[in-house]
Amino acid sequence: MSNPAAVPLPSRTAPGARLAWLDALRGLGAVAVLLEHLLPWFLPVLRPYWFNLGMYGVMVFFLVSGYIIPVSLESRGDVRAFWIGRAFRLYPIYLVVVALVLVMGFWLPVREQVPRDLSAVAGHVTMLLDVVHMGGVTDTMWTLSYEMVFYLLVTALFVRGLHRGSGVLAVGFGVVAVVAGLVLYGPSVTGSWPAHVSGALFCVGMVCLISGRFRTLAACVLGVMAVVLTVFAGFTPWMGAAILAVMFIGTAIRRWEQGEGGLLPVLVATVLVALAPVWSIQADWWWAEPGVWLTTTALAGATFAGAMALRERRLPRFLVWLGLVSYSLYLLHHPLLKLVFAVVGDVRFMPLATQVTLSAAVVAVTLGLSWLSHRYVELPMQRLGRRLAQRPSAGDSAAPGPSSEVGVSAESLSRSASAG
């Protein structure tokens, strides 16, 4: 890849302003997922069925991750700093939510999709839940599996110098999605051993990535493991491959923006993602019906494109704020909805005015708690992660640093990166 400093970002606005559109997208995605889970329980009359709000939201998240994450790693050129930053970004509030659900388990049973053995511990430690056919303690954690798969794969590509071909990868995973839909009924590799093996490899691999010892080997093993699990051990192989295609579409758009690639791979991969469930054996859900899936993916793509076109303009502050608290909002809302539903009863049969009032109250409380967790859990841990990442490691070989402008922007991008 050419030196990032050779392709400066537009400088008409400050780095913070350039990132507002990404935060706004994350805010939209988080609200869409919140509504997807809230409306069926609290206000079913408003739930749309011509597209899926939840899948729309996570597709937006995945496009943002694809756009941001490789830039963060490549601009730093520092695998250790990247993974320390990711760990302190992803795990603190994630572990808080896991603990919250386990405490709630004294009154509300933990989801039955969560195994009652050590494989559940391994799956939650790695976050590779969905790709080892395992449910998380909250329904929303499945998307974190594909975020983690993407991080592992991007790291492997980076250390091998193969990270330039984002468009080819997007098309490749699009093809895999279509083929997997045609031939696979579900996970080919079953049982609890994928969770145990991937858990052990993940822990050893993370030590290598952060310490610098056997880093290239560890990155390659983890990258291959992640792809194999997605295609052969995931709940829905075609969808896992389609999600990776969407993420690399986001990366390919970034390459095009920097003058490092064209849009043809983006268009081809987008068509393949849209076609993935059409002939799929494993597409019996209403949201995977061709019309609904096509509408959902088209709306997600149009939202990303629209926000990108408006990135130089001032966006609503509330929407940008939602993006800042989006990770907490994403993880917290589902257990809170379950708790409220258990306390107040079946809201669906209450008067419409009561449904609206309770829905508004739940949203307000969820946003307030999300702000508190962002302020007092996420931000302090992110700052700690940045301090730890700045400490040199004996196994690291420093890469040439980007120009100050691009370096500041890339660091800001990494702090703004989405997790789900």
Q: What are the residue ranges in the chain where pLDDT is below 70?
A: 1-18, 392-420
Q: So what's the pLDDT on residue 403?
A: 32
204-to-117, 149, 213, 215, 229 alpha-carbon distances in Å: 21, 16, 11, 11, 17
Closest by Cα among 306, 334, 299 to 420: 334
Q: So what's the pLDDT on residue 396?
A: 52
Residue-level length of the chain: 420
| Residue 268: strand, helix, or coil | helix
List of residues 6+ apart from 126 with CB closer than 8 A = 148, 195, 198, 199, 202
Q: So what's the pLDDT on residue 410?
A: 38
Q: So what's the pLDDT on residue 17?
A: 52
Neighbours of 398 (CB within 10 A): 8
Q: So what's the pLDDT on residue 18?
A: 59
Q: So what's the pLDDT on residue 398?
A: 38
Q: So what's the pLDDT on residue 1?
A: 34
Q: So what's the pLDDT on residue 387?
A: 93
Q: So what's the pLDDT on residue 407?
A: 35
Q: Return d(Cα 29, Cα 264) in angstroms, integer.
A: 26
Q: So what's the pLDDT on residue 163?
A: 87
Q: Return d(Cα 296, Cα 322) in angstroms, integer.
A: 21
